[in-house]
Amino acid sequence: MQQLDVIPHTIRHQHIDFHVEIRTSASPTIAPVLAVRALAEREAAIGPQTKALLPLADIVSVRIGGVSAPGKLPPGSRLSDLADGLAGVLDELGLPRVNICGTSHGGEIAYQLALRHPDRTERVVLTGVAARPPALPRGTDPAGLSALMRSPARREVTREIIARLLCLNPARPVRGRATMEWVLNDMLATADEGQIGMWRRCLELLYAASQPSGLQPPLLAVTGEHDVASPTTECRALAAMSSQAVFATIAEADHWVFLTRSHELLDLTRRFLLDEPLEGLPYVAALERFNRQVSAQRSR
């Protein structure tokens, strides 16, 4: 893999901070890839993505202050505001069109960007993104959940959160399950005030989002075949609304497919961005294509 310098800087748009890192390809063949980062996307996810996609395109990685990076969002901010802010980042960087990738709650923001600004979008890859917000532990809302995480009940609620994020059914093969269970338990048990605040803000944004509708640009909606956080039925429903959409699942994986089967996920992503055939791949458990007419979503 080519080793090129990362160019980091912060762009402020409508009082929201967008922390940008640019990795420059030596010989790009497609439009830049805008990677909208989620909280869990650290070097374990960024490194493999860089290796797989940098030969094809520049990679513009964005974290949002108060969502996936330290900071605070202005009161009343919505997912649509973050999406419009990302469009402002593209303006600042002089990028007329990009391919958009997003995972989990980062994918929800990526989806809103493609929905509201289809003229800026080449192709979209959403990993672990559903047509409805995630299920919370019984009797809680985002504020109540964050309060429990700050209380003596943290250990008990941690177990329930893990059960809603990780496929624990032993009858379903999931690679890396034991490792991910340990990582999640450690991450939740040691989360500080800032991290808990970001999780709460992400959940509030997801629960306040409008009902999803179809995308115009070509879409790959993909996740692990045993995803419990973003069930495959919901990921498929999101794809089915869109024009030129593909729904796919990766075998022996759950919501953490971007960590536990990154090689396979990124191979599928690369093929989709290059418009190569996706059929017959040994790691794909399910593949379905949708073609339907969708109306343009006007940016508001």
Residues in the chain: 300
Count of beta carbons in the 10 Å neighbourhood of residue 70: 13
Strand order in the sheet with 16-23: 6-13, 16-23, 59-64, 33-36, 98-103, 121-127, 219-224, 245-250, 284-290
Helices (H) and strands (E) in the chain, counts: 10, 9
Q: Residue 115: beta bridge partners?
A: none
State the pLDDT at residue 298. Answer: 45
pTM above 0.85, yes or no: yes
Question: Dihedral through CA 79, CA 82, CA 87, CA 90, nearest 10?
Answer: -140
In 3D, which of 244, 260, 243 has the Cα closest to residue 252? 260
Is residue 258 helix, strand or coil?
helix
State the pLDDT at residue 1. Answer: 36
Residue 236: band (very low, low, confident or very high) from pLDDT cuts 50, 70, 90: very high
Amino acid letter for position 250: I
What average pLDDT does this structure show over 176-203?
Answer: 91
- pLDDT above 70 covers a percentage of the chain that reads 95
Specify burial of residue 180 (Cβ count, 10 A radius: 0-12, 13-18, 19+). buried
Q: How far is CA 71 from CA 156, 172, 197, in A?
A: 28, 39, 10
Q: What is the mean pLDDT of the chain?
A: 91
Residue 212: band (very low, low, confident or very high) from pLDDT cuts 50, 70, 90: confident
State the pLDDT at residue 295. Answer: 58
Q: Residue 174: beta bridge partners?
A: none
Residue pair 28/56 in contact by the 8 Å Cβ criterion: yes
Helix orientation angle between 104-116 and 79-93, rounded to the nearest 10 degrees: 70
Structure tokens at 118: 């289809």
